Amino acid sequence: MKRTKLFRKVAALLFLLLTTVSLSACAVESDNSVRVYNHVKSSKTITWGVKYDTALFGIKSVKTNKLEGFEIDFARLLTKKILGKDGKAKFIEVTAQTKIPQLKNNNLDAVLATMTITDERKKSVDFSTPYFNAGTSLMTKTSSPIKSIKDLNHKGRVVIVAKGTTAADDIARLAPKAKIRQYNDYGSCTNALLAGQGDAVATDNGILAGIAKQHKGLHLVGGTIAVEPYGIAVEKGQTKMLEAINKALKEVKADGSYHKLVKKWFGDIPGFSVKEAEY
């Protein structure tokens, strides 16, 4: 009768898995449109999901062990606008893969992490008005013969992208003959490019500019191949929080503090137009 015992065990295991899945699906629903906003107001803290690995936007500096970048400063600025002078900004790291799940399970109040507004993502989260007009660009070794997206549209060409980014779709659309290889983060992408595992890295120009600035022998080519406006994401249905963020965005754009921040971080990057990036 060992066999029945075995099947019982397997069945129990499957049941456990299925309940976990369905329970976690239930937890997302419920609650009303002001929950996150009220929570933020009462705790005087906004928990932002930000990047820890993206130069210029959000990076944990190896030297100072502090978070720095445009989006970090921007999150602090918005926090003060929404909560007043004594509002606090808390930061949690997200990656392309974890940002939406973490937003859904309430680890985060909002995601401010180089997140492109797409229709597909709008099904899962709500976006603020755009705050940064990024564009997908290409980075190659300076010795590479590749000068534009057209050079990549050949059999045998390999384009490197980060998992969960929109660049993969852009490449599939604009250079359908190229092969796409995806890696977990931008560090792995850069290492793969340097080791010759691909011909170019494709992702947002601001991110690439940050990488190219640190690595001699890498440069941006071919201009922007697709427009990718960044938005701040909140959990779907949290309209009160979204309204507060949009209002704060409008205010910082009007009083010039937004422009100052963009200029501070991107003003001296060669080949990068502040005017194009600003909203």
Q: Which of 92, 192, 261, 274 binds other proteins (CB under 8 A)?
A: 192
Contacts within 8 Å (CB) and 24+ apart, 242-246: 242/126, 242/128, 244/37, 244/82, 245/78, 245/82, 245/110, 245/128, 246/128, 246/129
**Smaller CB distance to other proteins: residue 77 or 100?**
100
| CB of 22 vs other proteins, minimal distance in Å | 9
| CB of 191 vs other proteins, minimal distance in Å | 6
Rounded to the nearest angstrom, the gap between the alpha carbon of residue 19 and the centroid of all alpha carbons in its chain is 31
Whole-number Å distance between alpha carbons of 87 and 119 = 32
Q: Which of 148, 153, 184, 239 binds other proteins (CB under 8 A)?
A: 184
**Smaller CB distance to other proteins: residue 76 or 236?**
236
Amino acid at 133: N
Question: Is 188 a residue that touches other proteins (CB under 8 A)?
Answer: yes
Crossing angle of helices 257-266 and 239-254, in 10° steps, is 80
Q: Which of 187, 196, 267, 271 binds other proteins (CB under 8 A)?
A: 196
Contact map string, positions 198 to 237, toward other proteins, x by CB under 8 A:
----------------------------------------
Question: Is 164 a residue that touches other proteins (CB under 8 A)?
Answer: yes
**Smaller CB distance to other proteins: residue 24 or 32?**
24
Q: Which of residues 55-114 bind other proteins (CB under 8 A)?
A: 96-97, 100-101
**Smaller CB distance to other proteins: residue 79 or 190?**
190
Pick the closest to residue 106 from 241, 231, 16, 230 (CA basis): 241
Q: Which residue has the tokens 């060409």?
A: 157
Structure tokens at 206: 């601001």
| CB of 205 vs other proteins, minimal distance in Å | 21
Question: Is 257 a residue that touches other proteins (CB under 8 A)?
Answer: no
Residue 166 CA: distances (Å) to CA of 115, 136, 185, 203, 224: 9, 8, 14, 8, 13
DSSP state at residue 154: S
Residue 219 CA: distances (Å) to CA of 76, 89, 110, 136: 31, 34, 33, 14
Q: Which of 11, 17, 34, 227 binds other proteins (CB under 8 A)?
A: 17
The sign of the dihedral angle between the CA atoms of 211, 212, 214, 218 is: positive
**Smaller CB distance to other proteins: residue 232 or 249?**
232
Question: Is 8 a residue that touches other proteins (CB under 8 A)?
Answer: no
Amino acid at 24: S
Question: Is 142 a residue that touches other proteins (CB under 8 A)?
Answer: no
**Smaller CB distance to other proteins: residue 20 or 273?**
20
Binding interface with other proteins (CB under 8 A): 6, 10, 17-18, 20-21, 24-25, 96-97, 100-101, 120-121, 123-124, 163-164, 181-184, 188, 191-192, 194-197
